[in-house]
Amino acid sequence: MSQHEPFVFRTIEKLLEKASELGIDLPFQRDLVPLFEGYRIGSKRISNRLTVQPMEGYDANPDGSPGELTFRRYLRFAQGGSGLIWFEATAVVPNGRSNPRQLWLHKHSLDGFKRLVEETRCAAHEAFGEGHEIYCVLQLTHSGRYSRPQGKPQPQVALLNPYLDEKSDSLHIFSDQELDDLQEKYVEAVGLAYQAGFDAVDLKACHGYLLNELLASYERTDSHYGGSFENRMRFLLEVIPKIRQEVPKIGLTMRLNAHDGLPYPYGFGVSQDESIRIDLTEPIKLIRRLIQEGCTLFNITLGIPYLHPHLSRPFDRPLFKSPLPFEHPLEGVARFLAVTRELQREFPEIPLVGTGYSWLRQFLPYVGAAVLKRKEATFIGLGRSSLAYPDAPKDLMNEGAMNPKKVCTACSRCSELMRMGGFAGCVVRDKETYGKFYKELRKKLRKQLRRQTRRKRKEK
């Protein structure tokens, strides 16, 4: 591993030099045509390979319906030209919200979601013509250990985890019956997502949230959701046929943690020798089963951002008062590329969305185009970059390049906003809207930290 360094590259050659110094084979090509090739999923055509990754804005109305800023974000994404728009984590039950302003889909918020999908499609058509086709996926979730439905932590877990739990007395451990019942809530939410006009739903199984946690529930004893591979995968493998039965026309996708970054027996996609090495044996086995069950698209991601943020999103500046990781951010990008490559090679016919490109800034299109050309992913996912620079696809279409003055600076401020429970967006490139929220929350956080330090001193 190497030392962490911020992004200092003025030319792609300098970036490639760094990659070579780190022993990384960074795919690269100047021809951007692969980014703009269409793709078909079932009967739906997607105009290009650029994807807006799911990103919570915590700007829903209290009833879970999309708020004013939610509309603003998705209209900007649509007007920016991405072919695939992966709508953010949306709770299937109120108790599973990670924030009182997280989206929550239920029959009384349905109209808001309908309008959101309609207006998003309309904005894309107005900007690029009727022939520009977007694919809208809604990510459905239960936030599990990270639930904060009233703003305070209310963890609901599949099992106790010594790497994640500071205290275990305040945790609610799901019973098998509760998990069985939750399957029905997912089926209901998928039905509503179909009525809202989404092309597909994602049964989110990543970043430490409930369905991800179940995949690594080795130590959940006396339960049909714990222990063996079949038991750990049970929720997904049981709920999908129910969804197929009830909502046969909706597309099924999954955002999947291919590797949690936690040691066995507490992490998914890790070797069983306690080395925390990536081992894709089980993710491959799971993806194979999910394809048999009818999943047609996967979005590959890594890590538990609450524990190891660098694994999930390589950055220059860490979250407030957090340490820098012991690796170069380019190594983080390379890890994403390698994992997605291995999975895409295993499943050449199944579309995979790759993650972790934003740190590459204006050079990401050259890496993305080469990844597509090499068939090491099918879509290029842009998370923070889409918040900072939603028009990047349009600029690539019209100008053939991204503007370095508009790119994401990987400063982690969007994540800080999210962690502090504020409206999340880009504080640097969309300052007029998000700068003020950031200032207010930062003050609050400083006060909180001072109080904590005083309390700790007293306790000593």
Ligand X SMILES: Cc1cc2nc3c(=O)[nH]c(=O)nc-3n(C[C@H](O)[C@H](O)[C@H](O)COP(=O)(O)O)c2cc1C
Give the nearest residue (CB) to ligand X: 383
Q: Is 74 in contact with 30 (CB distance < 8 Å)?
A: no
Question: Does 332 engage in binding with ligand X (CB under 6 A)?
Answer: no
Output the smallest distance, CB 223 to ligand X, in A. Answer: 26
Question: Does 383 engage in binding with ligand X (CB under 6 A)?
Answer: yes
Question: Does 51 engage in binding with ligand X (CB under 6 A)?
Answer: no
Q: d(Cα 413, Cα 384) in Å, to the nearest integer?
A: 10
Quick one: which segment of 200-208, 226-234, 267-275, 435-443 binds ligand X (CB under 6 A)? 200-208
Output the smallest distance, CB 459 to ligand X, in A. Answer: 33
Task: Give 138's Cβ-side CA count (13 Å radius).
Answer: 28
Q: Is 299 in contact with 353 (CB distance < 8 Å)?
A: yes
Question: Does 213 engage in binding with ligand X (CB under 6 A)?
Answer: no
Q: Is 218 in contact with 204 (CB distance < 8 Å)?
A: no
Number of residues that bind ligand X (CB under 6 A): 27
Angle at which helix 68-80 crosses helix 392-399, to 10 degrees, equals 20
8-state DSSP, 278 = B
Is 109 or 139 the residue whose CB approaches ligand X more closely?
139
Question: Does 55 engage in binding with ligand X (CB under 6 A)?
Answer: yes
Question: Does 422 engage in binding with ligand X (CB under 6 A)?
Answer: no
Tokens encoding 263 = 């040691």
Going by their DSSP bridges, the two strands 39-41 and 44-46 should be labelled as antiparallel
Residues in contact with ligand X, shown as a per-residue x/- string from 247 to 286 under the rule CB under 6 A: --------x-------------------------------
Q: d(Cα 140, Cα 274) in Å, to the nearest integer?
A: 32
Is 103 or 124 the residue whose CB approaches ligand X more closely?
103
Q: Report 357-376 residues binding ligand X (CB under 6 A).
A: 357-359
Angle at which helix 329-346 crosses helix 364-373, to 10 degrees, equals 20
Q: Which of 206, 270, 304, 441 binds ligand X (CB under 6 A)?
A: 206
Q: d(Cα 363, Cα 376) in Å, to the nearest integer?
A: 18
- Run of H or E residues at 415: helix 413-419
**Shortest CA distance to 48 belongs to which of 275, 372, 309, 367?**
372
Quick one: which segment of 4-12, 29-37, 52-60, 193-201 binds ligand X (CB under 6 A)? 52-60
Question: Does 73 engage in binding with ligand X (CB under 6 A)?
Answer: no
Query: CA angle, 202 as apex, 428 and 410 as ends, to 5°?
Result: 20
Question: Does 102 engage in binding with ligand X (CB under 6 A)?
Answer: no
Q: Which of 418, 420, 427, 441 binds ligand X (CB under 6 A)?
A: 418
Residues in contact with ligand X, shown as a per-residue x/- string from 121 to 160 under the rule CB under 6 A: ------------------x---------------------
Which residues form the interface with ligand X (CB under 6 A)?
Answer: 53-56, 88-89, 139, 204, 206-207, 255, 301, 312-313, 355-359, 382-385, 414-415, 418, 424
